[in-house]
Amino acid sequence: MEHLLFVYGTLRRGEINHALLGSSRCESFLAVMPGSLYDTGRGYPAMAEGKGEAEGAGIVCGEIYRVDEETLARIDDLEDYYGPGDPRNLYERVERTARTDRGETDVLVYVSDKLRAGPEIPFGEWKLYRMAKKPALPYFVYDGCMEDGPIKMADVIGRGAVYGCQVRFTRHVSGGVRADMVETGGVTQGILYRIPVEALEGSLYRREEVRTGICRPAVVPVTLDSGEVADALTFVAAEKQPETAPKK
Protein backbone atom coordinates (compact mmCIF):
# COMPACT_ATOMS: atom_id res chain seq x y z
CA MET A 1 0.00 0.00 0.00
CA GLU A 2 1.23 3.49 -0.82
CA HIS A 3 0.67 6.73 1.06
CA LEU A 4 1.14 10.41 0.32
CA LEU A 5 3.43 11.91 2.97
CA PHE A 6 3.88 15.64 3.57
CA VAL A 7 7.37 16.51 4.87
CA TYR A 8 8.47 19.95 6.06
CA GLY A 9 11.86 19.61 7.76
CA THR A 10 14.87 17.30 7.63
CA LEU A 11 13.14 14.88 5.24
CA ARG A 12 12.97 17.47 2.46
CA ARG A 13 15.27 17.27 -0.56
CA GLY A 14 18.83 18.23 0.38
CA GLU A 15 18.19 17.87 4.12
CA ILE A 16 19.99 15.45 6.42
CA ASN A 17 17.28 12.76 6.62
CA HIS A 18 16.08 12.91 3.02
CA ALA A 19 17.81 9.60 2.21
CA LEU A 20 15.27 7.79 4.40
CA LEU A 21 12.71 8.41 1.66
CA GLY A 22 14.76 6.23 -0.68
CA SER A 23 13.31 6.18 -4.18
CA SER A 24 9.97 7.65 -3.14
CA ARG A 25 8.59 9.89 -5.88
CA CYS A 26 8.13 13.59 -5.15
CA GLU A 27 4.59 14.59 -6.08
CA SER A 28 4.98 18.27 -5.18
CA PHE A 29 7.74 20.52 -3.82
CA LEU A 30 5.55 23.63 -3.48
CA ALA A 31 2.88 22.14 -1.23
CA VAL A 32 1.45 23.94 1.78
CA MET A 33 -0.94 23.05 4.56
CA PRO A 34 -2.49 24.85 7.55
CA GLY A 35 -0.40 24.93 10.71
CA SER A 36 2.59 26.53 12.37
CA LEU A 37 6.24 25.50 12.48
CA TYR A 38 8.65 25.67 15.41
CA ASP A 39 12.40 25.35 15.85
CA THR A 40 12.90 22.62 18.44
CA GLY A 41 16.54 23.60 19.02
CA ARG A 42 17.51 20.01 18.18
CA GLY A 43 18.32 20.55 14.52
CA TYR A 44 14.83 19.82 13.24
CA PRO A 45 11.44 21.56 13.28
CA ALA A 46 8.06 20.47 14.57
CA MET A 47 4.69 21.28 13.09
CA ALA A 48 1.77 22.14 15.32
CA GLU A 49 -1.82 22.47 14.24
CA GLY A 50 -3.39 25.90 14.44
CA LYS A 51 -2.21 29.32 13.34
CA GLY A 52 0.81 30.80 15.11
CA GLU A 53 1.90 34.41 15.46
CA ALA A 54 5.10 34.63 13.40
CA GLU A 55 5.32 36.57 10.14
CA GLY A 56 3.49 34.67 7.42
CA ALA A 57 1.85 32.45 10.05
CA GLY A 58 -0.90 30.05 9.16
CA ILE A 59 0.77 27.74 6.65
CA VAL A 60 3.58 25.22 6.63
CA CYS A 61 5.60 24.75 3.44
CA GLY A 62 6.78 21.33 2.38
CA GLU A 63 7.02 18.52 -0.13
CA ILE A 64 4.74 15.56 -0.81
CA TYR A 65 6.16 12.09 -1.46
CA ARG A 66 4.50 8.83 -2.45
CA VAL A 67 5.86 6.28 0.04
CA ASP A 68 5.40 2.56 0.59
CA GLU A 69 4.81 0.78 3.90
CA GLU A 70 8.51 0.02 4.43
CA THR A 71 9.46 3.66 3.96
CA LEU A 72 6.66 4.82 6.23
CA ALA A 73 7.93 2.46 8.94
CA ARG A 74 11.40 4.05 8.69
CA ILE A 75 9.87 7.50 9.08
CA ASP A 76 7.84 6.31 12.07
CA ASP A 77 11.12 5.29 13.73
CA LEU A 78 12.71 8.65 12.94
CA GLU A 79 9.76 10.57 14.36
CA ASP A 80 9.43 8.41 17.50
CA TYR A 81 5.93 7.41 16.48
CA TYR A 82 4.73 4.14 18.03
CA GLY A 83 1.06 4.17 17.11
CA PRO A 84 -2.11 6.25 17.45
CA GLY A 85 -2.30 7.88 20.88
CA ASP A 86 0.72 6.01 22.28
CA PRO A 87 2.07 8.05 25.25
CA ARG A 88 5.64 7.43 24.05
CA ASN A 89 5.00 9.33 20.81
CA LEU A 90 7.10 12.42 20.22
CA TYR A 91 5.05 13.11 17.09
CA GLU A 92 1.56 12.04 16.11
CA ARG A 93 0.96 10.83 12.57
CA VAL A 94 -2.30 12.27 11.30
CA GLU A 95 -4.16 12.61 8.01
CA ARG A 96 -4.75 16.16 6.85
CA THR A 97 -5.33 18.09 3.62
CA ALA A 98 -2.46 19.77 1.76
CA ARG A 99 -2.75 22.25 -1.08
CA THR A 100 -0.76 22.03 -4.30
CA ASP A 101 -1.00 23.94 -7.56
CA ARG A 102 -2.96 20.98 -8.98
CA GLY A 103 -5.50 21.04 -6.16
CA GLU A 104 -6.02 19.70 -2.65
CA THR A 105 -4.97 16.22 -1.59
CA ASP A 106 -5.14 14.15 1.60
CA VAL A 107 -1.73 13.38 3.10
CA LEU A 108 -0.10 11.93 6.18
CA VAL A 109 1.92 14.36 8.28
CA TYR A 110 3.75 14.24 11.61
CA VAL A 111 2.71 16.89 14.15
CA SER A 112 3.72 17.55 17.73
CA ASP A 113 2.42 19.83 20.46
CA LYS A 114 5.21 18.61 22.75
CA LEU A 115 7.88 20.48 20.77
CA ARG A 116 6.27 23.87 20.15
CA ALA A 117 8.09 25.70 22.97
CA GLY A 118 10.86 26.93 20.64
CA PRO A 119 10.75 29.97 18.35
CA GLU A 120 8.16 29.96 15.62
CA ILE A 121 9.53 29.80 12.08
CA PRO A 122 8.39 32.67 9.81
CA PHE A 123 6.32 31.69 6.78
CA GLY A 124 6.42 28.05 7.93
CA GLU A 125 9.45 27.54 5.67
CA TRP A 126 12.23 25.52 7.33
CA LYS A 127 14.67 25.76 4.44
CA LEU A 128 14.41 29.54 4.21
CA TYR A 129 14.75 29.80 7.99
CA ARG A 130 18.08 27.99 7.79
CA MET A 131 19.27 29.85 4.70
CA ALA A 132 18.53 33.21 6.34
CA LYS A 133 21.02 32.46 9.11
CA LYS A 134 23.87 32.84 6.59
CA PRO A 135 25.30 36.14 5.27
CA ALA A 136 24.03 35.49 1.72
CA LEU A 137 21.59 33.18 -0.01
CA PRO A 138 20.69 32.12 -3.57
CA TYR A 139 17.69 33.87 -5.13
CA PHE A 140 15.97 32.71 -8.34
CA VAL A 141 14.26 35.31 -10.54
CA TYR A 142 12.21 33.54 -13.17
CA ASP A 143 11.38 34.75 -16.66
CA GLY A 144 8.42 37.11 -16.61
CA CYS A 145 9.70 38.86 -13.48
CA MET A 146 12.72 40.44 -15.17
CA GLU A 147 10.84 43.66 -15.86
CA ASP A 148 11.09 44.51 -12.16
CA GLY A 149 14.62 45.72 -12.79
CA PRO A 150 18.03 44.64 -11.49
CA ILE A 151 18.51 43.21 -8.04
CA LYS A 152 20.51 45.60 -5.88
CA MET A 153 23.62 44.22 -4.16
CA ALA A 154 23.23 40.93 -6.05
CA ASP A 155 25.87 38.77 -7.69
CA VAL A 156 24.82 36.75 -10.74
CA ILE A 157 25.49 33.01 -10.39
CA GLY A 158 24.09 32.10 -13.80
CA ARG A 159 21.11 30.89 -15.80
CA GLY A 160 19.01 28.15 -14.28
CA ALA A 161 15.75 26.26 -14.59
CA VAL A 162 13.11 24.81 -12.29
CA TYR A 163 11.67 21.60 -13.70
CA GLY A 164 8.04 20.72 -13.08
CA CYS A 165 6.87 24.33 -13.11
CA GLN A 166 5.66 26.84 -15.68
CA VAL A 167 5.13 30.59 -15.72
CA ARG A 168 1.50 31.71 -15.56
CA PHE A 169 -0.01 35.12 -14.91
CA THR A 170 -1.93 34.13 -11.79
CA ARG A 171 -0.35 36.64 -9.39
CA HIS A 172 -2.58 39.69 -9.02
CA VAL A 173 -0.77 42.62 -7.37
CA SER A 174 -1.60 46.24 -6.66
CA GLY A 175 -0.18 47.32 -10.02
CA GLY A 176 -2.01 44.71 -12.09
CA VAL A 177 -0.87 41.18 -12.84
CA ARG A 178 2.58 39.61 -12.63
CA ALA A 179 4.21 36.36 -13.58
CA ASP A 180 3.84 33.48 -11.16
CA MET A 181 5.55 30.10 -11.03
CA VAL A 182 3.01 27.28 -10.95
CA GLU A 183 3.84 23.62 -10.27
CA THR A 184 1.78 22.05 -13.04
CA GLY A 185 4.53 20.65 -15.27
CA GLY A 186 6.94 22.24 -17.71
CA VAL A 187 10.15 24.18 -17.20
CA THR A 188 10.66 27.66 -15.76
CA GLN A 189 13.79 29.49 -16.87
CA GLY A 190 15.44 32.32 -14.99
CA ILE A 191 18.57 33.78 -13.42
CA LEU A 192 20.10 32.65 -10.14
CA TYR A 193 21.57 35.40 -7.97
CA ARG A 194 23.40 35.51 -4.66
CA ILE A 195 21.97 38.23 -2.42
CA PRO A 196 22.89 39.48 1.07
CA VAL A 197 20.43 38.28 3.66
CA GLU A 198 19.56 41.85 4.65
CA ALA A 199 18.00 42.31 1.20
CA LEU A 200 15.09 40.15 2.35
CA GLU A 201 13.81 42.61 4.92
CA GLY A 202 15.30 45.63 3.18
CA SER A 203 13.59 45.38 -0.21
CA LEU A 204 12.50 41.96 -1.43
CA TYR A 205 9.57 41.39 0.90
CA ARG A 206 8.27 44.84 0.02
CA ARG A 207 8.92 44.43 -3.70
CA GLU A 208 7.16 41.06 -3.76
CA GLU A 209 4.25 42.27 -1.58
CA VAL A 210 4.85 39.53 0.95
CA ARG A 211 3.51 41.43 3.94
CA THR A 212 0.22 42.16 2.19
CA GLY A 213 -0.27 38.44 1.66
CA ILE A 214 -0.06 38.62 -2.13
CA CYS A 215 3.07 36.48 -2.37
CA ARG A 216 4.94 34.02 -0.20
CA PRO A 217 8.59 32.99 -0.19
CA ALA A 218 9.36 29.49 -1.44
CA VAL A 219 12.52 27.42 -1.77
CA VAL A 220 12.85 25.59 -5.09
CA PRO A 221 15.45 23.31 -6.74
CA VAL A 222 17.23 25.26 -9.50
CA THR A 223 19.21 23.31 -12.10
CA LEU A 224 22.16 25.33 -13.42
CA ASP A 225 23.64 24.99 -16.90
CA SER A 226 26.46 22.96 -15.31
CA GLY A 227 23.94 20.36 -14.12
CA GLU A 228 24.35 21.32 -10.46
CA VAL A 229 21.09 21.59 -8.52
CA ALA A 230 20.87 24.30 -5.86
CA ASP A 231 18.08 25.26 -3.48
CA ALA A 232 17.11 28.88 -3.98
CA LEU A 233 14.62 31.39 -2.67
CA THR A 234 11.90 32.61 -5.01
CA PHE A 235 8.43 34.09 -4.64
CA VAL A 236 5.07 32.70 -5.74
CA ALA A 237 1.47 33.79 -5.37
CA ALA A 238 0.09 32.94 -1.95
CA GLU A 239 -3.32 32.37 -3.53
CA LYS A 240 -3.50 31.61 -7.24
CA GLN A 241 -5.93 33.85 -9.11
CA PRO A 242 -7.54 33.29 -12.52
CA GLU A 243 -4.91 33.79 -15.19
CA THR A 244 -5.03 37.26 -16.75
CA ALA A 245 -3.00 38.52 -19.68
CA PRO A 246 -0.59 41.30 -18.61
CA LYS A 247 -1.11 44.77 -20.01
CA LYS A 248 1.31 45.75 -22.76
- Note whether 106 and 151 are same-domain residues: no
Does 247 map to a domain? no
Please provide residue 86's backbone torsions phi and psi, each rounded to the nearest 5 degrees.
-65, 130
Cα dihedral sign for 63, 165, 188, 161? positive
Please provide residue 175's backbone torsions phi and psi, each rounded to the nearest 5 degrees.
-95, 5
Does 246 map to a domain? no
Instruction: Count structural domains, the chain.
Output: 2
Marked catalytic residue, from 208, 209, 228, 239: 208
- Note whether 126 and 7 are same-domain residues: yes
- Note whether 6 and 124 are same-domain residues: yes
Element (H, E) at 187: strand 187-196
Q: CB 247: neighbour CB atoms within 10 A?
A: 7
Separation of alpha carbons 115 and 15, rounded Å: 20
pLDDT in tens, the chain (248 residues): 899 999 999 999 999 999 999 999 999 999 999 999 999 999 999 999 887 666 666 899 999 999 999 999 999 999 999 999 999 999 999 999 999 999 999 999 999 988 877 899 999 999 999 999 999 999 999 976 654 555 666 789 999 999 999 999 888 776 678 889 999 999 999 999 999 999 888 788 888 888 888 899 999 999 999 999 999 999 999 988 887 766 65
Residue 208, classed as helix, strand or coil, is coil
Separation of alpha carbons 193 and 233, rounded Å: 10
Does 248 map to a domain? no
198 is catalytic: no
- Note whether 116 and 21 are same-domain residues: yes
- Note whether 30 and 51 are same-domain residues: yes
Full residue range of the structural domain in which residue 39 is found? 2-130
For the question of whether the overall pTM of this predicted structure is more than 0.75, the answer is yes
Separation of alpha carbons 101 and 30, rounded Å: 8
